[in-house]
Structure 1
Amino acid sequence: MTKLSVNINKIATLRNARGGNIPDVIKVAIDCQAFGAEGITVHPRPDQRHIRYSDVFDLQSKVKTEFNIEGNPTPEFISLIEKIRPSQVTLVPDSHDAITSSSGWDTITHKEFLSEVVSKFQSMGVRTSIFVDPNPDIIRAASQIGTDRIELYTGPYAEEFIKNKEKAISPYIEAAKLAKNLGLGVNAGHDLNLDNLNYLYINIPWIKEVSIGHSLISDALYMGLEKTIKAYKDCLKAPQPED
């Protein structure tokens, strides 16, 4: 079963725009779990423009499912992981001023650094995942690093899906097959939505987890959070045969 992890960064963005505590990030995380999400994802950035480091500490005791913390492994981020010990850490090569993630790690160039970071987190009992593009050489290097999983950056898939879904999915199928053969777990995330998620799932049903934030929170403005989470979970099922 592919798990749905809800990225709640956008909830924090809305809260921070006004100040105060509306909407309540902690309550939303609790509600997401109650409504069926199998995980909560946060991505604290150095400028704390959405999720703050203090939020991560507040969430620690409230996330009863899987707690996935994303980020660039700066010294401050590594210290955070040491203190929180989440279920999973996803390493993302964001610059300090990145608006959103736009590419995966070059696991060849940064192999030594990533190996040290992955080993450190694994020694704490934290599962590691490296955010990567669907590039065979990059995935092979990720396997050599010793990471538990990779997370496929699906931004290009989402963009191409609108024009040609078969072309869009092709490199991701090959990348996911290679990762599976190398013994890596496969996660996926970025720009996944109610239009493209099921097609990804039926073509790569062994995906362990999808992390979705922007589209899911946007859909919840119209559909409500409970119905939206159900709709996304429904995308993570094989299509039912017609009568």
Structure 2
Amino acid sequence: MGKNHDNDDGADENSKESKTTSKKPSTGVIVLGVYLHCQGCVETVVKSLRGFDGVEEIEPNTKDHRVIVKGNKADPIRVAERVRNKSGKHVELISPVPKKQREKKLVEKKPETPKVVETVLKINMHCEGCAKDVKRCILKMQGVQTVNVDMKKSHVIVKGSFDPKNLVAYISKKGGRHAEMVNVKNKQSKNDGEQREGDQHEKKEKEKEKEKEKDGKNAYPNVPPELVYAPQLFSDENPNACSIM
């Protein structure tokens, strides 16, 4: 009877271990993005992964066009390549994200704000009609903000965020006119310089105010702070002041 009892205990322990191992969820989950438009696509993908190294479960989802592959030892990159080679479909590895894609996201920088420039061009204009045509043509270029025409000097002043060389080529191509670059100014750097000058001016004014305060405090350097200054000797507010009868 004792032996049978021992055997029963061993059987119970084995059954418990088998249950616990079967209930353990697989930690390796791979999500692939694959376009699945019919049952044939689903069968092709499933066949390509059936029996592959580390693959335990395959769950295709036709609504989201995704395939969930479970397996603790499955390599995500190899699984994606397997489906790609066997099915001939475009396969995107959604999860886990490859290290290269993570590094690219970290390296990506924010786009720099375009610098505003002021370009002076020399264009031969015979009349007001020519000036209007030139202005209308330049305003169509991307990045151009304002266009001012000086008929006397045959100058066109253009402001905006663009490449001045491209502006000359644009006028030649779209307007059919010859344009020469006279001057280019970086408005952003100019504004920065003006701001610096303003800051320096404010600092100088503050220093002057501090010097004036120091001079006011040192008006009576030999008089102790507890004594009354001379202008206050005859003040009505001072109880110790002299009074003239």
TM-score range for the pair, normalised by the shorter chain length: under 0.3
Larger Rg: 2
TM-score w.r.t. length of structure 1: 0.17
TM-score w.r.t. length of structure 2: 0.17
Determine which structure has greater relative contact order: mean sequence separation of CA pairs < 8 Å that are 6+ residues apart, divided by chain length: 1
